[in-house]
Structure 1
Amino acid sequence: MGDWPGYLTLIVQGAWVTVKLTVMGSILALLVAFPAGLGRLSRHAPVRWLATAYIEFFRGTSIFVQLFWIYFVLPFAGLSLTPMQAGVTALGLNVGAYAAEVVRGAILAVPREQFEATVALNLTRFQRMRHVILPQALPLMLPTFGNNAIELLKATAIVSLISLSDMTFQAQVVRSQTGSTLIPFLTILLLYFLMSSVISTGVRALERRVTRGLDGVR
């Protein structure tokens, strides 16, 4: 039992890697979700086709295969990524495709009268989105964005397949060195639950803050 503090330290170090993957992957997902979601609504056919191709490809193929392609195949095309970079890219692009559909759906859910009012006010397309449509659509997006972030957190376990030392990888190391499955995997089970709870709490707080301005409650 004297070695367990050291083994648990390994898992905590892996948890920090998982946190970084989740944060950076979520940022990348948001960065691609809005352009792709808006692209699906574009008046220009090539933009719609490009956005649709991205969304359908990453939603229609396995994230395991995407990760392997990004890490093992792209180097043959001259683009080599570190395990962390490959993990963030695969997670962000995959979850971003789902989040793009959230963006599109939330914008379409804004009442048609709001669009007509912006046209009557002679606002540009950017002004319509910036000042009228997105402020109303964002509260509709947030709950699903939170779910997407939690799904991304859980999907970080796949990076152990490319030898990135996240907490699942470290739990496997501890299991192989100690012969115990219960302690390391119970530890990461609790850590995953704690992290997902933090995400849920943060999204609910953000949702309350965003909706407060819309319903007039101060």
Structure 2
Amino acid sequence: MAGSAPPHRPQALLLATGLLAFAAGLVVASFAGFRDFLPELLRGARVTVTVALGGAVVAVAAALTAGLLRLYGPRPLRWLATAYIETFRGTSALVQLFWLFFVLPHFGITLGPMAVGITALGLNIGAYGAEVVRGAIGAVPRGQWEAARALNLSQAQTLRRIVLPQALVAMIPPWGNLLIELLKATSLVSLITLADLSFKAQQINQNTLRTAEVFGLVLLMYLALSTLITLGMRALERRAARGLRRGRAA
């Protein structure tokens, strides 16, 4: 109907309102006896965000590489991509963290805790993301390939100019879920000596015995971070969809 609001606007407003409520809760908590340990939680949150951002970069790069190689790579690289995907999807992220942190040094490769956390979680989420990439590319109508072939475009040109822009729009919603899973998985890095948000919460709880207050505040902090991811991914989805519509209209 003419003049009606876009369907995504109420959802975005609801998420923004929730985010403001969480931020207000953190401000109130800082004046309600939490100001002594809130700085420690914020330091832990900085580690959590650093691991999540670094892991997201690794995950996107690994997913695009493995997904494309599994579809279009030469046979040896296709097998390698399949082995990576199945190995990291079929084993525990915790075991992968321990393997990189405790086992690799026996082979002469030593990585710091932050590098291990980013690499292990990124590769773990990237294995799931590779299937998202493969599915999104496969969902592009076959007629797009045939039209590109009629225009004498190579396979690489067809992927870059026609297929990937359309597949990207379909990839963004599941990638939002994967990035939230990555954020939650960062709590595992405390087991390889990183003082992340969950580790700081456990330390403070042991010292203060204020379990409900500490973990309630940490729950809100994780929820606020995941809401930011959701808002960012929905904004990216709308922008990609507008770009795709402009490209089709050109």
TM-score by length of 1: 0.96
For the Cα contact (< 8 Å) 1:17–1:167, is it kept in 2?
yes
1:214 aligned onto 2:234: no
Counterpart of 1:134 in structure 2 is: 164
Q: Work out the CA distance in 2 between the residues paired with 1:126 and 1:202.
A: 29
Counterpart of 1:92 in structure 2 is: 122
Report the 3-state secondary structure (helix = DSSP H, G, I; strand = E; otherwise coil) of the residue aligned with 1:117. helix
Counterpart of 1:197 in structure 2 is: 227
Deviations 1:25-70 (A, max 9, x none): 0010001110100011025211211110000000000001000001
Structure 1's consecutive aligned runs of 4 or more residues displaced over 3 angstroms after TM superposition are 1-4
Counterpart of 1:9 in structure 2 is: 39
1:52 partner letter:
T
1:77 aligned onto 2:128: no
Report the 3-state secondary structure (helix = DSSP H, G, I; strand = E; otherwise coil) of the residue aligned with 2:232. helix
Q: Work out the CA distance in 1 between the residues paired with 2:111 and 2:244.
A: 43
Identity level (%): 53
User: Cα distance, 1:17 vs. partner?
Assistant: 0.6
Q: Work out the CA distance in 1 between the residues paired with 2:62 and 2:161.
A: 21
Q: CA RMSD in A?
A: 1.5
Counterpart of 1:162 in structure 2 is: 192
For the Cα contact (< 8 Å) 1:8–1:184, is it kept in 2?
no
User: Cα distance, 1:208 vs. partner?
Assistant: 0.4
User: Cα distance, 1:85 vs. partner?
Assistant: 0.7
Tell me the matched-pair count: 217
Tell me: CA distance 1:43–1:21, structure 2 relative to 1, closer, same or farther (3 Å): closer
Q: Work out the CA distance in 2 between the residues paired with 1:109 and 1:6.
A: 53
1:80 partner letter:
T
Counterpart of 1:146 in structure 2 is: 176
Match of 1:178 among 208, 229, 241: 208
Q: Work out the CA distance in 1 between the residues paired with 2:188 and 2:150.
A: 50
1:50 partner letter:
L
Q: Work out the CA distance in 2 between the residues paired with 1:144 and 1:163.
A: 31
Deviations 1:5-31 (A, max 9, x none): 231110110001111111110010001
For the Cα contact (< 8 Å) 1:163–1:169, is it kept in 2?
no
Q: Work out the CA distance in 1 between the residues paired with 2:59 and 2:226.
A: 17
Bigger radius of gyration? 2
1:63 aligned onto 2:93: yes
User: Cα distance, 1:102 vs. partner?
Assistant: 0.4
- List runs of 5+ in structure 2 lacking aligned partners: 1-30
Counterpart of 1:30 in structure 2 is: 60
Q: Work out the CA distance in 1 between the residues paired with 2:78 and 2:72.
A: 6
